Chains A and B, each alone.
Chain A
Amino acid sequence: MTGDEKFLPEGVPAWQQPFWESLREHNIKVQRCTACGAFRHVPKEICAKCYSTSFSFEPVSGRGVVYTYTIVHRAPTPAYQAGAPYAIVHAAMDEDFRMVGTMIGIDPDEVEIGAPVRVVYTELSPEWTIVEFEPATEANGLVDNARGN
């Protein structure tokens, strides 16, 4: 392992690709159970609430609040270490699912549980765009997501 590059997703099955395609299009879609309507992430083969195997990928608000976080000081490879320390958050999204991502646009020490966040898109390579989080503020019109966590 050279550590020169960040990790790109490997082994993502075809049925999960609509999520990644939506990130490339900067219009996040998350897996949703066709039977009971529950959103779930990361994509899974069956709905753990109603056991339906039918699903689609549907647009979501991209808004949530920080459920928990860490600030990574010792990164897995030199490519990540170059950006350390960085905050990784688990966000509780408005549509009642959680999602992991890096927090950008804020000093890592300023990250707080309960703080509103919204998704942003970052291109890792021509093939892969990932979703990260940034603070949701009055300026970007996204302060109405005070959902309890």
Chain B
Amino acid sequence: MVRKLREAAVAGVYQTKQGDLSDRTSVDVWFECAKGACDDAGIPLGAIDGLIMDGPEGVGIRSMLPAAALGYDLLGKPMRFHASSSVGASAAASGVNLAVYAVSMGLADAVVIVNAVAGSPEGFSSANRDEAIAAMAKLSGPYEYVYGTTRVSDYAVLARRHMYEYGTTSEQLAEVAVAQRYGATMHPLSCNGHRGEITLDEVVASRMIADPLHLLDCCAINQGGGAVVVTSADAVRDSKKHRPIGLLGYGEGHSHIDPNSAPSLAFFDAAQLAADTAFTHAGVARDDIDVAGLGDHFTINVLFGIEASGFCKPGEGGPFVENGALKLGGRLPTNTAGGFLSFSHAGACGIFTLIEIIEQLRGTAGARQVADARLGYLSGSGGAMQNNFSAILGEV
């Protein structure tokens, strides 16, 4: 471990309109996002000297050595840091921990995280829904996929067990989708805001995909881009553009690959471990959190997140979310831009949840602004609650 030299903070954020970017290349979107985040930070693109996760898409060794590709080839100078997180679709968001590490240890001065999904990728990133669903179904391995499991069914079995143990209802799950769609209607870059608000009845009446999950309990498949750049907190303060929002606490919990190994499919102690580590690290209480961003591939994930994070007891997530508790003005405004369900489910989509928390804590969320938001909580999972991270953000 290298000695900590300074505080790090998010200096800039950027995101594209979410939806269909099939007429563009992912490299084009990558640079738009990286440049956009640098502009927001008030630094030139050439200031970037560190990379988390993927660089601009490439083939052969360029795809294997992303920071090397970004070095003399594309930015005309060597990069000083690269690392990857592995929390699935949350990897770009959990990667902020690595960016903060690099900057606070003095290993780099401006570290960028970019998520760019565009063009016509194959496999589970395909814009062709049938191809993507078939490819995702095979992620689980032969002991499951021979039966015709899908990513939705992988979560549906968790939701069913939660309902059995705790009495959770479809209407309670629908609260999540309704609250998040409401937020998305106030975000012009969101995928689904233009579709307008939805009701609990509409969610519960939507087509069944894998019982008990309905169409509106599930994310769509879409494209989009987003980026975050992390610098020293002093540099953010000196630029006088934004409040320096940094990491106050962080934790991970890596649980299982085989669902048969998990002690429970209704409560995830590895997610609880991630949250407990983050809250202990930050020295703040659950009640201190003003705004949350919880991974939401499906509505049930938000209940798992609320329970594992300790905002209520295991099993009480259903009653907790009732009566619009997750909406602006509710007891725990969550995924206020719409989350994966209604803002964007593109690639490592946790980055969009992170960006919304940053905007809330900066006080720049406009119509979606949570009054006096000082402390934000972020969590997400990879796979079907297979691994997890938690972060607490605030001014540093």
Contacts and interface: CB of A to CB of B under 8 A. Distances in A.
A70 B210 contact: yes
Interface string B113-154: 000000000000000001101111110011111111110110
- The DSSP consensus for interface residues of chain A is loop
Contacts of A77: 134, 137, 148
Interface in A95-149: 97-102, 113, 124, 128, 130, 132
Interface in B154-205: 156-158, 160-161, 164
A36 interface: no
Contact of B161 (A42, A88, A113): A113
Given A1-B131, A41-B260, A76-B137, A68 B161 contact: yes
A12 B143 CA distance: 9
Contact of B148 (A69, A86, A97): A86
Nearest to A7: B145
Given A86-B148, A90-B260, A113-B164, A73 B142 contact: no
Interface string B245-283: 000000000000011110001000000000000000000
B28 interface: no
B142 A72 contact: no
Contacts of B260: 41-42, 90, 97-100
Given A100-B149, A113-B164, A90 B259 contact: yes
Interface residues of B, number: 38
A9 B146 contact: yes
A3 interface: yes
B208 interface: yes
Contact of A72 (B164, B210, B265): B210
A73 B260 CA distance: 23
Given A41-B260, A68-B158, A88-B149, A76 B134 contact: yes
Given A8-B142, A88-B153, 9 more contacts: A1-B135, A42-B260, A67-B265, A72-B153, A74-B209, A76-B149, A88-B147, A113-B161, A128-B146
19 contacts: A3-B134, A8-B142, A9-B143, A68-B161, A70-B213, A71-B210, A72-B150, A72-B153, A74-B152, A75-B150, A86-B148, A88-B149, A88-B153, A90-B259, A98-B260, A100-B144, A102-B147, A124-B146, A130-B147
